[in-house]
Structures are given as structure tokens and as C-alpha cells.
Amino acid sequence: MPKNEKDLILKVTDLKMHFPIRKGLLAKTVGHVKAVDGVSFEIERGKTFGLVGESGCGKTTVGKCVLRIYNPTGGEIVYNGKDIANYSASEMSPIRRDIQMIFQDPYSSLDPRQSLKSILKEAIVCDMKPHGATEIEKRISELMISVGLDPIMMDRFPHELSGGQRQRLGIARALACNPDLIICDEPVSALDVSIQAQVINLLKNLQKQLGLSYLFIAHDLAVVRNIADNIAVMYLGHIVETMDSDEIYAHSIHPYTKALLSAVPITDYYEEQKRQRLPLEGEVPSPIHAPSGCPFHPRCPYATDKCKEKMPDLTERMPNHFVACHNV
Amino acid sequence: MDSAEKKLKRKQSFQQFCRVFFGRGLIVKFCLGVAVLFVFVAIFAPLLAPHDPTEVDTMNRYAKMFTKGHLFGTDKYGRDLFSRIIYGSRTSLTCSLLSALWAAIVGSTLGIIAGYKEGWIGKIIMRYVDIQLSIPPLILSMTLAVILGSNIFAIAIVLGIGAIPGYIRMAYSNVLSIKENDYIVACRLVGQKTFKIMFKHLLPNCFASLIVIFTMSLGLTIMVESSLAYLGVGLSEPMSAWGLMVSDGFGCLTTHPNVALIPGFCIMLIVVSFNVLGDGLRDALDPKLRGKL
Amino acid sequence: MTDNREILLEVKNLKTSFFTQAGEVKAVDDVSYYVKRGEVIAVVGESGCGKSVTQMSVMQLIQTPPGKIVGGEVFFEGKDILKYDRFSEEMRAIRGGGIAMIFQEPMTSLNPVYKIGNQLSEVIMCHKGLDKKAAWAEGVKALAAVGIPDPEARMENYPFQMSGGMRQRVLIAIAVACGSKLIIADEPTTALDVTTQAQVMDLLKSLVKEYGTSILMVTHNLGLVTRYAERVYVMYAGKVIESGTCEDILMHARHPYTMGLLNSVPRLDSERSQDLVAIDGQPPRLSELPPYCSFFPRCPYACEDCKQGKPELQEIGPNDHYAACWRIEEILKNAEK
């Protein structure tokens, strides 16, 4: 399927984020943590792109680079046709509110000293346009209704809400800015199972209504598969495989993706008893001492000498299905 | 929203405030009473004092407590202690409140800035704190008092400067942890101004620990004031201040304990009251506790 | 297949309440369950349903006040251990020696200022009465038994030098070294990555095979239950609302809450386009429970009859399948069709 540049809301090319390790009195740089090392992906307008990986693989760092909370070391972040990777703070300010974030921890993402009303009001008023008091009040009610909160709760404080309600409020705050793109950083991993489903459904409905695009970052494959259109699997700062999300369960190719899948149990008792397990040995190495060549080779059952030397490129093995592995 | 509804809401939140504020029981009411009484006494000192506090009566030195005309007795110059306590409340309260207030404002502002903007501004502020803390506090205060003079305001400034590093340190360390919270990131993402983030989000969230320092420093400044007086660089005779009176009466503690103990007791009373009121205020400003029944 | 394994732990009608300013909060309300030797059982529920408090009550680790065990019996190897004082020697011998506990946060369950070896050998000395040298050697053996590479060197490490998975292994090693007969694992892998989670769970499972240890895992992850547990207890608002074999619960769930829970789990293998069926509403606050079925406000089957009181667990199938619901008969009939 040919894509022209127009229907892409975000195109990230070869993004790199290296954090310096400083030591000693003069803060000399002694090395770099390569949290993200050459990541490329595209998000179509109105679609959801899922980024999956274990902790420390750099998925959150990618999100924070796109939001320009971090200044990336290299690469391009093309948002709506403009490369924002090197924008200064003043250049960022007109588009600041167009990219929003939903956070993982529903407890630390809301100021405990603010009422719900004041949290939303702050997000509405910050666009520097004049607002009437009644207009603001109306907008707050609208927002709360759209995320399934009763406007009666407006005067409450965050500690009076349950985890799911807090997460809904976090979504309302993001929506208050009328964003195009929302970075969802593990938005449901801190919630109970029954509430997870509520929030996932809410995010899906909002996408349909408002035409939002999501960059959905999570470690839970099942959740990502359910909400995302495309999925990228990250390992130690690299994307090792990207594909349509329908492909992942049956047709994933990269050995890491397969191991990850097999580590996740499914709730179908009979199916689960039949499944083959690919246990992974060892642990994810620290990104400070990332292995040479393919980052996965020390744990990979198929590793060869070539894997130790050269990092494989992402190549298209099937339509829309890219894999970075020498031994497919 | 109509004004009647707003009024009702305001009334409700005031009731909630009071409920938490007085939540610790009788002691809070007692302390509020003490504080109000002292402030009242300080304001209406000339009307309440039976004698001129500087009036010397050499015939009547070291009068005992409850002697006629002298409720608390007299000191070594025969001055009426009761009147001196009343006038002393003026100087002591103004001095400690002023110094604590200005230290709190300057100290917490600097601390929040240092914590939030780690760059060179933060470094300068924190190095300043280190430098000030490396100088013995009494020597610093003495030097400053000599330079600035010995009227109440100058002493308040001097005492305040001594308390500033405490506020900076406390605000700084609080902000370092608070700013890691996601809601600060969220504020930046919606385009909130740095200034507002500092004073709308960071300040209220470090309030609890700042108020503890504030109430502690209220008592401490009265003490420091008395040691400055003792060393002869602070407020000086014939002015009356509680700290001054304590250091004055210290020499005859065994023979005439009332001269030092009565002002000492006043200091203790006011310090305890401020501490209890501070705790109440801290709780009442916390929405988590305010919402609880 | 008949199961002749002896019952190791039996909890009968356990009740634990917290006495707060707002009144009595029944965190555990009449909970009964049992664990056989060499069995893996799971207690499933959402946060605040009392699943952890139940286990803490069994170990008598409830903070008193405000918490208090107000009723029930806990038989461990035939003895009612609730009768022991919580500070008594007998209770101490059971904690660690008989029943070991593994917590969710491997970061905080080890003391950061002592070496792994010191912490490990101290527990071994305490429970086995060995001298320091022998205990250290036992510790090395235990670390090797839980699959930690280079155990001698690891004994010299501090907790911060280990990853989360490694720390969780150390805690398991403590249980192994003390010869614990039952391991209560409270959300043992929630803080871990999926691949590490699989490793830790496989290790626990291997202990069952090797030493005949029983495992009681407390979790909200239904996937883990499917893969590792033999029997399941589902808890909601302080009560067990359904219990049975893993197969019964996951494939033939009959309580509306269990069914809802299973439907709301996103699945790797299902059709992507279909929406998740969420359970409406919020989990209840334990301080504001209704006098009738606690699931009533969120239940799709709720009707006026459900308000007659709290439903009791009743047997609804072979293999000890129990459920507590007023409308269970109708649900069973529908299921048969």
C-alpha cells in the first residue's frame, strides 16, 4: 500500500537518545546510555501505533522524545510535515498542546492539592486565549462527560477517586487541549483487570469520535494487540520487528517476539495447555554495556557469529511486516 | 453558578477547614486562645500596662511576686515585670513573626527555584546555602547586627537571614521529589508557565514541611534574639523584650527566679501555641484530611 | 482421578476487620479455603478485595490496631495456628520455617544495607540452628537451587546490585533453605517483566515437583492462573465468590463476576476488532458495602431478589466447584443450553 506523506501524523526516522554518564568532580562524560538507538516508525492519522517491550528497552524514552520532554541526540521527528526534533522551546510552544500524554501512574499524575475542576480548568485556560467563566464551566462538564465522569464530582479531589476514575480524569486533561496525537504511556498497567477494559474501550471510542492518533506504549502484548493497528517490538533501544497487530499471535518471526509471546499466558485453559514454550534464559543486559551486533544475540537460541558482529537491518519479509534478524 | 450556591459552598469549605483545624481537640482551642491573647496584649500594651516599663524604682528592687502594685514583682532596677512582659510581647512577637515571615518567603522562593531549575541558578543558590551554613550562625548574626543597627526591624532582618538556609534546604529537597511526579510533566505539556508551576503546584505541595520549619523558627528567633541581647549587639536596654529579660534575669536565677522564669514561661507558651496552630493549619490545608469525616 | 494428598493448610471462616473512625471495615469476611501438599492454588481478585489481607491474617502479620482477626480457624499441619500468640515462638517457627511469604516488591523485601549472604544465613541460622559457617554454605546451596548463577559471588552482593528477578529468586531461596512447606506468593511477579515473570513462575513450579512444596499465589493476573494453578478461589469485596479447579473457573465460570472478569481480559489469540466487555462501575469500597450481594451494583444479572441478603457459597458442580450467587440456578440452566 503506497503511502503519501499527507496521511502520516508522525514519522520518526533513526531516532537516537543517548544519555551521558557523568562521573567525578568535573562531571566528565565517561560513557553513554544508549536508551534509544536508531528507531524509525510512522503513525497514520487516526490510527494507533503500539510500542511493546520490557522495562528498560527505551519505549518510554521514545515517547518522551516525541513530546520533546527530552532533546533527542539524533534523528528526525516529523510531526505534520515539520521536523520538530530540534525545535527550541519557543518554536515548540504553538504545537505544544497538540501532542498530549496519558500517564501510567494514576496517583502521581494528578496534583493532590487541586480539585478536579481546577485541574481541567488549568489545561483549558493555558492556551492563552480569552475564556469566559461560563464557557470554561461548560467545557469542563463536557470533558468530564466525554470520559464517563459525572460532572457532579467536579469539586472533589483526586484522592476521593478510584484508580480508574483518576485515569479517566487524566484522559480528560489531555483532551482539554484538543490534541491530534496522544502518547499513552502504559495507561492501563496500574489498573485492575475489569477497569483496564473500561479504559481501553474509552480510548477506542474517543479515537473514533475525535479522530485521534495514539502512540500506545505498553509491556502487555495482549493489551497492545487489542488497541493498536500496528505493533513494533523493542529490545534494548532497537525495534526488532514491526507488523500489523493481527499478525503478532500467529505470524511473528523474530525470536525475541516469539519468546515474549510464549512468556505471556493466555486465559483459555485448553489452548494454554497445548501451547509450546520458548523459555528465555538470562536477563535483559544493561543498556550501558549493550552487546555488539544484534542486541538480542546473547539470549538468542539461533545466534550465529554474524549476529555478534553486525546489527541486522529492519527488512520487509512479508507485506507490512519488518523484521531485524539475520536468520529468518 | 448563582451566588447563593457559591456562598453555600464557601461556607461548607470553611466548616470543613475548621473541623480539621480543631481536629486535635481542646489543645488547639487553648493555643488559639493563647495566641490571640498575646497578639491582643501586644496591640493594646499601653492601655494594659499598669506602669511605664522603663520606670526605675531603686527603692523597690527585686520585689517578690504578688507584691502590691507589682503582680510579677520587679527586676534589678525596680522596673515592674508585669508591664515589661506586656511591652515585651510587642517587640518579641513583631521580631519573631517578621523575621520568620520574611525568611519563609525568601527562603522557600529560592528553594523552589533552585529545585526546579537545576542549572546554574540552582547551583548558585545551593552554594550560597553551603557558604552561609559554614559560618558560625552567632558570629554571622552579630556581624550583621553591628552593621544594620539594633532597632526591631534590623534585628528581624538579621534573625531572618539566619533562618533562610533552613527554608531553602527544605523547599529544595521537597521540590526535587515533587517535580518527578507526572502532574508536573502534564502541566508543562498543556503549556503552563514555569512561574505558575512553581507557585501553584510545587509550593502547595511542600507546604506541610515548610510550616513545620516556620513554627519552629518562631520560637528559635526569640532565643537567638535573647543571645544577641546577651552579647550586647541585639535589642538593648531599656527596651523590653522577652529574650532580653530572660538573659537579664539569668544572673539571679537562684535568688530571684521570677525575673527569668516568667518571660521564659511566656516564650514557652507562645512557641507551643504556634507549633500546635501550625500543625492544625498544615492538616487543614491538606485536601486529603479535609475530605475525611 | 482421586486426589489423596493430605491437606496442609486449612482456613475456616476467617474474618478480619479493620476498626477505623468510620466504623468496622470487614476486609476478610468468612473466607474458607484449603491447600493440599504439593498443590498450587491461586487466589484471584482485584485490588482491595481482601486477598492479601487474608494471607497476612494467616501469618498473623496484620497490624493491630487497627486490624484484628475477629473469627475463624487456621489449621496448619493439623494445628490451629490462630491460637498461638502472634509474638510467640511457635508462630515464629511457622513463619519462614513452615510457611514462607514472598511479596510483590522485591526491592523492599530485602534490607538494602546487608549483603545477600548475611540475610540468607541469618534466617537459616535462626530456623535450623546451624552455626554461621554452615548456614553460609547452606545459603550458597539454596541460591544454586533457585538457579542463580555463580552463587558464591552472589552471596557477597548487596540487594541493589541485583535485578528484580534475581531478588525475587533470593526470597524463594530463603524459603527453600528453611524447608518451608508452603510458599505464599503475594503478587510475586507484578513488578517484573513478562520474560522474567515466566522464569520466576517456572522456578516456583519446579519447587513443587522437587520438594513437594505447596504454593498459594495471590494474583490479579488470570493468565498466570491458567498456566500454573490447579485450583482457584475468586474473591470479591472480602468474600470468596467462586472456587473450583482451574479448568472449571476459566472455562466454565458461573458467577457473574468471574465471567465478567474473564471477558474483560484482552486476549492475544482472539479477534482484534471485537471490543472488550468491561464490567461497569467501580470496585466497591470495603467501608461502604451493602447488606446484600456486594457485586449487585455492577452485576448484569442483578434483580430485586438479589437484595435478600448475602449469598452463601453452594456446590454447583463436581470437583468442588462452588459459587455464591442468588441467581446461580438460572445461570446454570442457561449454561446447559
Residue C337: CB atoms within 10 A of its CB come to 4
Q: Give the cell for residue B183.
A: 502532574
- Which residue from B258, B281, B237, B257 is spatially nearest to B91, judged by alpha carbons? B237
Q: Which residues of B touch C22 (CB under 8 A)?
A: 293
Asked if residue B63 belongs to a domain, the reply is no
Residue B119: CB atoms within 10 A of its CB come to 8
Residue A20: pLDDT above 90? no
**C216 vs B279, higher pLDDT:** C216
H or E stretch including A234? strand A230-235
Alpha-carbon distance values, A257 to A237, C109, C199 (Å): 15, 32, 16
Sign of CA dihedral B263, B264, B265, B269: positive
Residue B109: pLDDT above 90? yes
Mean residue pLDDT of chain C comes to: 85
Residue A293: pLDDT above 80? yes
In chain B, how many H helices and how many E strands? 13, 0
Dump strand ranges (E) for C190-303. Answer: 214-219, 231-236, 239-245
Q: Give the cell for residue A141.
A: 462538564
- Which residue from C46, C34, C73, C22 is spatially nearest to C294, judged by alpha carbons? C46
* Rounded Cα gap, residues B123 and B107, in angstroms: 15
Say if the Cβ atoms of B189 and A159 lie within 8 Å: no
Does the beta carbon of C287 lie under 8 angstroms from any beta carbon of chain A?
A: no
Q: Which residue has the cell 516469539?
A: A258
* Rounded Cα gap, residues C37 and B20, in angstroms: 53
Residue C128: pLDDT above 90? no
Question: Mean per-residue pLDDT for B191-210?
Answer: 88
- Candidates A47, A192, A216, A234, partner chain C, best to mutate (most C CBs within 10 A): A192
CATH of the domain at B105: 1.10.3720.10
Q: Bridge partners of A32? A: A20
* Residue C7: burial class (beta carbons within 10 Å; 0-12, 13-18, 19+): middle
φ/ψ of C127, rounded to 5, equals -95, -25
φ/ψ of C273, rounded to 5, equals -70, -25
Residue C19: pLDDT above 70? yes
pLDDT, position B291 = 60
C-beta of residue A25 within 8 angstroms of C-beta of residue A81: no
Q: Domains of chain A: which residue ranges?
A: 5-105+182-189+212-323
Find the CB nearest C250 among A204, A219, A269: A269
- Candidates C52, C148, C276, partner chain A, best to mutate (most A CBs within 10 A): C276
Asked if residue B115 belongs to a domain, the reply is yes
Q: Which residues of C touch A246 (CB under 8 A)?
A: 272
How do residues A106-142 score in pLDDT, each as one tens digit? 888 999 888 899 999 988 888 777 778 888 989 999 9
* Rounded Cα gap, residues B238 and B256, in angstroms: 20
pLDDT, position A141 = 92
- Cis omega (within 30 of 0) for bond into B238: yes
End-to-end CA distance of chain B: 27
How do residues A177-209 score in pLDDT, each as one tens digit? 899 999 999 898 888 888 888 999 999 999 999
pLDDT, position A2 = 47
CATH superfamily of A5-105+182-189+212-323: P-loop containing nucleotide triphosphate hydrolases (3.40.50.300)
Q: Give the cell for residue C40.
A: 498450587
What lies within 8 Å, CB to CB, of A17 at 6+ separation is: A34, A35, A36, A58, A61, A62, A65, A70, A72, A73
* Rounded Cα gap, residues C245 and C316, in angstroms: 12
* Residue A142: burial class (beta carbons within 10 Å; 0-12, 13-18, 19+): middle
Which amino acid does the sequence have at A277? R
Q: Which residue has the cell 501532542?
A: A99
Residue B73: pLDDT above 80? no
Residue C274: pLDDT above 70? no
3-state class of A244 per DSSP?
strand
* Rounded Cα gap, residues C184 and C217, in angstroms: 6
* Rounded Cα gap, residues C106 and C174, in angstroms: 13
Does the beta carbon of C285 lie under 8 angstroms from any beta carbon of chain B?
A: no
Say if the Cβ atoms of B182 and A103 lie within 8 Å: yes
Does the beta carbon of C22 lie under 8 angstroms from any beta carbon of chain B?
A: yes
> Of A174-183, A276-285, C101-110, which has the strongest mean pLDDT?
A174-183
Find the CB nearest A283 among C165, C223, C228: C165
pTM of the model: 0.85
H or E stretch including C152? helix C151-155
Long-range contact pairs involving A270-279 (C-beta distance under 8 Å, separation at least 24):
A270/C251, A271/C269, A272/C226, A272/C227, A277/C198, A279/C198, A279/C199, A279/C202
Strand order in the sheet with A28-44: A28-44, A8-23, A74-79, A82-83
3-state class of B251 per DSSP?
helix
φ/ψ of B259, rounded to 5, equals -65, -40
H or E stretch including A257? helix A255-263
Task: Chain A: give the shortest CA distance to residue B289, in Å.
Answer: 10
Strand C214-219 and strand C182-186: the pairing is parallel
Say if the Cβ atoms of A265 and C196 lie within 8 Å: no
Q: Which residues of C touch B293 (CB under 8 A)?
A: 21-22
Question: Mean per-residue pLDDT for C104-125?
Answer: 83
Domain range for B126 is 18-44+92-291
- Which residue from A235, A316, A321 is spatially nearest to A280, judged by alpha carbons? A235
Alpha-carbon distance values, C141 to A237, C134, C147, C163, C214 (Å): 37, 11, 10, 20, 21
Search chain B and give the residue with CA nearest C21: B293
Q: Please count the structural domains in chain B.
A: 1
- Which residue from C186, C228, C190, C194 is spatially nearest to C209, judged by alpha carbons? C228
Does the beta carbon of A90 lie under 8 angstroms from any beta carbon of chain B?
A: no
Tell which C residues from 61 to 100 touch A, by Cβ distance under 8 Å: none
DSSP B80: B
pLDDT, position A1 = 42
Which amino acid does the sequence have at C2? T
Q: How many residues make up chain B in this entry?
A: 293
DSSP A58: S
Tell me which chains share at least 3 CB pairs under 8 Å with chain C: A, B
- Candidates B6, B16, B123, B183, partner chain A, best to mutate (most A CBs within 10 A): B183
pLDDT, position A126 = 82
* Rounded Cα gap, residues A201 and C93, in angstroms: 49
Does the beta carbon of A98 lie under 8 angstroms from any beta carbon of chain B?
A: no
Asked if residue B10 belongs to a domain, the reply is no
* Rounded Cα gap, residues A234 and A254, in angstroms: 11
Binning chain C into helix, strand and coil, the percentages to the nearest 5 are 40, 25, 40
Q: Which residues of C touch A197 (CB under 8 A)?
A: 263-266, 276-279
| Least reliable range by pLDDT among A124-138, B122-136, C7-21 | A124-138
Longest dimension (CA), chain B: 76
DSSP C84: S
3-state class of C301 per DSSP?
coil
Q: How confident is the model at residue B128 (pLDDT cuts 50, 70, 90)?
A: very high
3-state class of C260 per DSSP?
helix
Does the beta carbon of C251 lie under 8 angstroms from any beta carbon of chain B?
A: no
Task: Chain A: give the shortest CA distance to residue C250, in Å.
Answer: 6
How do residues B214-229 score in pLDDT, each as one tens digit? 888 887 887 788 778 7
Residue C1: pLDDT above 50? no
pLDDT, position C273 = 59
Residues of chain A with pLDDT > 90: what percent? 29
Residue C116: pLDDT above 80? yes
**C194 vs A119, higher pLDDT:** A119
Residue A59: pLDDT above 80? yes
- Which residue from C267, C255, C25 is spatially nearest to A245, judged by alpha carbons? C267
DSSP B66: T
* Rounded Cα gap, residues A250 and A271, in angstroms: 13
Asked if residue B66 belongs to a domain, the reply is no
Q: Which residues of A touch B189 (CB under 8 A)?
A: 67, 96-97, 99-101, 177
Question: Mean per-residue pLDDT for C12-18?
Answer: 90
Does the beta carbon of B25 lie under 8 angstroms from any beta carbon of chain C?
A: no
- Which residue from C39, C26, C14 is spatially nearest to C209, judged by alpha carbons? C39
ipTM for the predicted complex: 0.83
Tell me which chains share at least 3 CB pairs under 8 Å with chain A: B, C
